[in-house]
Amino acid sequence: MKQELVAMLLAGGRGVRLSKLTKSVAKPAVFFGGKYRIIDFTLSNCANSAIKTIGVLTQYEGASLTEYIGDGQKWGLDANGSSCVVLAPGENGDGCYFYNGTADAIYRNLSFIEKYEPEYVLILSGDHVYKMDYTKMLHFHKSKNADITISAINVPIKEASRFGIINANEDYSIYEFEEKPENPKSTLASMGIYIFTYKKLKEYLEKENKNDRKEHDFGKHVLPTMLKDNCKMFVYPFDGYWQDVGTLDSLWKTNMDLLDSDELGLLNPNSTWKIYTQDSYSPPQYISSSATVSNSIINQGCYIEGNVKHSVIFNDVKIEKNAKVIDSVVLPGSIIKEGACVKKCIINQNIVIDANAVVNDDDKKICLVDGGEVNG
Amino acid sequence: MDKILGIVNLHSDCNFGNLTSKKSIATTSFLGRYYFIDFILSRFTNCNINSIEILVKNNPVSLFKHLSVGAKEWSVNTQTGGINFMYNELESKKNYLNTDFNTLLHNKKYLYNYNHAFVLFAPCEIISNINYQELMESHILSGKLITIAYKNCSDELDLFTGVDKVNLSDDGKSLKYFSKDDSNPDVYMETFIIHRTKLIEILENFDLDDEIPTLKDIISYAARMGDVNVYKYNGMMRYFRNIENYIDYSLQMLNPETYKKLFDSNNPIYTREYNSIPTIYGKNANVTRCYIANGCNINGNVSNSIIGRNVIVEKDATINNSIIFSYAHIKSGSIIEDAIIENSTVVEEKVKIKGNIKKPAYIQS
């Protein structure tokens, strides 16, 4: 069935800087915000933007992601006429293949896109935490009659050298890309979100594929080629909250942001832009007579007998008597035994912290606790 | 494996006063996160009962709304099974005609469509961990027409005055008759199983000129023929019959021992997913001995209470021994004790609401 727009979600990232958190799950499946996984944000944005066709490209630890995504039912993407399909690398007439870069991953799935005869293709990444209405970006793309529109966010000037920076004219047309520039000319950082007019996407992916290099990447190869060819390239400035939670520090910080300011608006119960996720069918949270809980968020299934302060507690966590959890993120199913104390930690899922254990006492940096190992 | 068609029988004389004036017990809030009907539906699916009919008495709207998301939320296989309704719109307003037997009679044709060997009837106001497969085994072994479930409640006899009791035959293996004998500890669990073909036979042979019976009348009749087997259940059971024991039993569930009996990870309780956010506890939150559902924003003092979804408790508000339903907003400085606060009610600043344990205050906006 013909669709005006097809979304392609790049979810193959390994997230090496997240250490043991991505030991057995892909980065998009990493937990965030007491209840969610990172990929829930992008998929919920798609569902809320009324996008009906989504291809999810997996590679690293693809099986866990395939299981989680299923038929897209968690995000309501399973209706008749909708499709949410996991597209993993595999084997075809030319032999076995992996995705060699972001552009290669899309190139190898052009036949999937073609089925829907789309006019536009939205390229997304499953690595970011944000709420965004892609419809507005599509309107912008159409109004500029663009070949490609790149979404960008304003970052503080001192951080701009960590990002891919876009330099644009007053009419938002792009004249230059700078990858992690030492002296940035602008503060518009690429969010890795592109809308292509499909014909141009196909043309440039086929062109890129003729290049004999090991990796084919949008940011490094396709976009610079398009710029050189004077394609109509525009930048779409996004003014919401957006975070790449690619490191332990940023994952911890983004969780703590929820408690302190919630610019993301995740915890606004009146928000009509809901984030959907898997339900754990757990009982309501139980706060016992010995518990103290303040300045924290706690999910269903938790059994709290100890002290929780300024922390994010996922579903089915047990915190026993006299245990203290401070400035920490505790992932699903973990148990903090009696008298234990954790500070400034991310506790991986299904971990047991022994009775009276003290973790990260000097609390100078963020610790990841994973099965008896502590990684700074 | 023999298949059971599970029927949730909502034809009950129990009511929670004001709480159930516009809706049935089935869709009354329980432990903040659930409706009563979630427990019986989860009990069915945890016992591998995948085809479910709901015998509706009246006030069906909230029920339709709750179940409209689809049977898979309660872990029902929607291809081999499903959740459907048996309802008699025409006669639901005529009390004397609105019996479980009559509703079933009007929906008789649906019973033909199943290939299930047995039909099981169970209410939603009794919460237990009964194993329906064991009940079925007992039924098959007995060779009788019907098997009913009961529990011996001799250690808490005073909780069951006025409910139907099971008077057993001398060998203890069959039902002699039902009574309301307050000294009899054998409480009828409003639960029974029958062969589907036998049930259809009874419905087909019913003389429409006769007075409309209840299903219990049919069991009583079979008991006189010595054709009712009994199954004794020994586990946890809570029988919610009125608003007093609704609040009393609900708050008893705050006991950690009861929590463990009720919430066993091998027998999850399913409910409709609302995609609520996790609950936020503010800097001034002071919460002890509570069940709190998701989506709340708690910044006041809450003790010994049950808080539903998306409830706001402002700073310096105090809640004790109470049940607060979803979307209520308790403003700063208010004090709520021994009360039930209805869905979406706003309790204004510095308002004091105080009931007593025997007669909880009920507030609705």
Taking an 8 Å cut-off on Cβ atoms, the answer to whether B263 and A283 are in contact is yes
Taking an 8 Å cut-off on Cβ atoms, the answer to whether A267 and B280 are in contact is yes
**In terms of domains, do B258 and B284 share one?**
no
Q: What is the mean pLDDT of residues B221-230?
A: 97
> From the candidates B290, B313, B327, which should be mutated to test the interface with A, based on the most A CB atoms within 10 A?
B290
**In terms of domains, do B248 and B141 share one?**
yes
Q: Report CA torsion sign: B223, B225, B228, B230.
A: positive
> What percentage of chain A exceeds 70 in pLDDT?
98
**In terms of domains, do B256 and B356 share one?**
no
Burial of residue B62 (CB within 10 Å: 0-12, 13-18, 19+) is: middle
Tell me if B244 sits within 8 A of B359, measured CB to CB: yes
Distances (CA, A) of A213 to A28, A89, B276: 27, 19, 47
Tell me if B353 sits within 8 A of B335, measured CB to CB: yes
Tell me: the pLDDT tens digits for B298-342? 999 999 999 999 999 999 999 999 999 999 999 999 999 999 999
In total, how many domains does chain B have?
A: 2
ipTM, 2 decimals?
A: 0.89
Q: Which structural domain range is residue B337 located in?
A: 280-363
CA distance B306 to A285: 10
Cβ-based interface (< 8 Å): residues of A facing B: 33-35, 266-267, 269, 274-277, 279, 281-300, 303, 308, 313
Local structure of B158: helix, strand or coil: helix
Task: For residue B194, tell me if it sits in a domain.
Answer: yes
Confidence of residue B38 (pLDDT cuts 50, 70, 90): very high
Tell me: the pLDDT tens digits for A163-209? 899 999 999 999 999 988 999 999 999 999 999 999 999 999 999 99
Task: For residue B229, tell me if it sits in a domain.
Answer: yes
**In terms of domains, do B129 and B185 share one?**
yes
Q: Quote the pLDDT of residue B30.
A: 96
Confidence of residue A364 (pLDDT cuts 50, 70, 90): confident
Nearest to A279 among B262, B273, B287 (CB): B273
pLDDT higher than 90, residue A231 = yes
Edge-to-edge strand ranges of the sheet holding B297-298: A373-375, A367-370, A345-347, A329-330, A312-313, A296-298, B279-281, B297-298, B312-313, B329-330, B346-347
- Residue predicted with more confidence, A279 or A133: A133
**In terms of domains, do B8 and B45 share one?**
yes
**In terms of domains, do B50 and B153 share one?**
yes
- pLDDT, chain B, mean: 94
Q: Quote the pLDDT of residue A158.
A: 87
From the CB of residue B251, how many other CB atoms can be counted at a distance below 10 Å?
Answer: 20
Distances (CA, A) of A139 to A58, A116, A134, A192: 29, 20, 9, 18
Q: Which of B338, B353, B307 is nearest to B29 (CA)?
A: B307
Q: Quote the pLDDT of residue A195.
A: 98
Tell me: the pLDDT tens digits for B135-182? 999 999 999 999 999 999 999 998 898 999 999 999 999 999 999 999
pLDDT higher than 80, residue A372 = no
Q: Same fold for the domain at A5-260 and the one at A286-375?
A: no
* H-only helix segments in A133-195: 134-143
Tell me if A67 sits within 8 A of A74, measured CB to CB: no
**In terms of domains, do B239 and B317 share one?**
no
Cβ-based interface (< 8 Å): residues of B facing A: 31-33, 254, 256, 259, 262-263, 268-271, 273, 275-295, 297, 306, 310
Burial of residue B230 (CB within 10 Å: 0-12, 13-18, 19+) is: buried
CA distance A173 to A226: 13
pLDDT higher than 60, residue A376 = no
Nearest to B33 among A35, A266, A284 (CB): A284
Tell me if B243 sits within 8 A of B17, measured CB to CB: yes
Determine the residue of chain B that is closest to A278 in CA distance: B275
Q: Report CA torsion sign: A32, A33, A36, A40.
A: negative
- Residues in B touching A272 (Cβ below 8 Å): none
Task: For residue B34, tell me if it sits in a domain.
Answer: yes
- Residues in A touching B271 (Cβ below 8 Å): 281
Give the CATH number of the domain where residue B147 resides: 3.90.550.10
User: Superfamily assignment of A286-375 in CATH?
Assistant: Hexapeptide repeat proteins (2.160.10.10)
Question: What pTM does this model have?
Answer: 0.92
Give the CATH number of the domain where residue B356 resides: 2.160.10.10
Q: Quote the pLDDT of residue A375.
A: 59
Confidence of residue B23 (pLDDT cuts 50, 70, 90): confident
Which of B204, B230, B262 is where one domain is finished? B262
- Residues in A touching B266 (Cβ below 8 Å): none
> How far is the alpha carbon of B45 from chain A, nearest alpha carbon, in Å?
14
Tell me if B26 sits within 8 A of B35, measured CB to CB: yes
**In terms of domains, do B161 and B190 share one?**
yes
> What percentage of chain B exceeds 70 in pLDDT?
100
Task: For residue B271, tell me if it sits in a domain.
Answer: no
**In terms of domains, do B251 and B318 share one?**
no
> How far is the alpha carbon of A360 from chain B, nearest alpha carbon, in Å?
23
- Residue predicted with more confidence, B102 or B92: B102
**In terms of domains, do B292 and B256 share one?**
no
**In terms of domains, do B235 and B142 share one?**
yes
Task: For residue B120, tell me if it sits in a domain.
Answer: yes
Q: Where are the domains of chain A?
A: 5-260, 286-375
Q: Which of B303, B314, B320, B316 is nearest to B346 (CA)?
A: B314
Q: Which residues pair with A10 in a beta bridge?
A: A57, A125
Specify the CATH class of A5-260 in words. Answer: alpha beta
Task: For residue B353, tell me if it sits in a domain.
Answer: yes
> How far is the alpha carbon of A162 from chain B, nearest alpha carbon, in Å?
32
Task: For residue B267, tell me if it sits in a domain.
Answer: no
